[in-house]
Amino acid sequence: MRKARLATVWLDGCSGCHMSLLDLDEVILEVAKRVEVVYGPLVDAQEFPKSVDVTLVEGAVSSQDDLDLIHTIRKRSKIVVALGDCAVSGNVPAMRNPHPARKLLERIYIEGAEGNRCVPTDGVPALLRQAVPVQEVVKVDLHVPGCPPPPRAIGYVLMELIEGRIPDLGTKVKFG
């Protein structure tokens, strides 16, 4: 049986959704039999690959790099899942939205710094004006709220998608 090609992506999030994914307990053995993880923080892949079956996206779209990556993900993934409140609604990263990004950076790196007061730019992706949920940029096939979503719900979602079914999340997840 062909294994499903699974990618997991960490945009502007805290990694808590990935921690929840790793907390699947024994379900992870079933998932591991059915998927090949082709991209994400858990594997050493430099470039988002082609022909991905399912991509789990943690975090909001917050920087130019996030924006470029999410467009590539959409083009190369059959199913895109917004995993967690940051990806679904903006959540914590979107708390910066009422303030201009430049002012925030100055507050942190200049006013709040004790030494070396300058806003880093070398190798740092430019912030977008606002941090936005994934669905504001590309089509999302499934939203899985939660901060983070419970491991059991993530396991259920993965197994249903692998079997070719659309998960009925019903009361399995909630925001927060």
Residues at the contact surface with ligand SF4, assessed by CB under 6 A: 13-14, 16-17, 58-59, 84-86, 91-92, 147-148
- In which residue are the tokens 């606002």 written? 130
CB of 116 to ligand SF4, least distance (A): 29
- In which residue are the tokens 């921690």 written? 19
CB of 80 to ligand SF4, least distance (A): 16
CB of 31 to ligand SF4, least distance (A): 19
Amino acid at 107: R
CB of 117 to ligand SF4, least distance (A): 29
Which lies closer to ligand SF4 via its Cβ, residue 35 or residue 147?
A: 147
- What are residue 173's phi and psi, to 5 degrees? -135, 160
Which lies closer to ligand SF4 via its Cβ, residue 13 or residue 40?
A: 13
Which lies closer to ligand SF4 via its Cβ, residue 16 or residue 167?
A: 16
Which lies closer to ligand SF4 via its Cβ, residue 170 or residue 176?
A: 176
CA-closest candidate to residue 52, choices 161, 165, 173, 128: 161
CA-closest candidate to residue 144, choices 15, 43, 21: 21
CB of 153 to ligand SF4, least distance (A): 13
Where would I find the H helices in 26-173? 27-34, 64-76, 85-89, 101-106, 151-162
Which lies closer to ligand SF4 via its Cβ, residue 16 or residue 155?
A: 16
Distance CA 87, CA 41 (A): 17
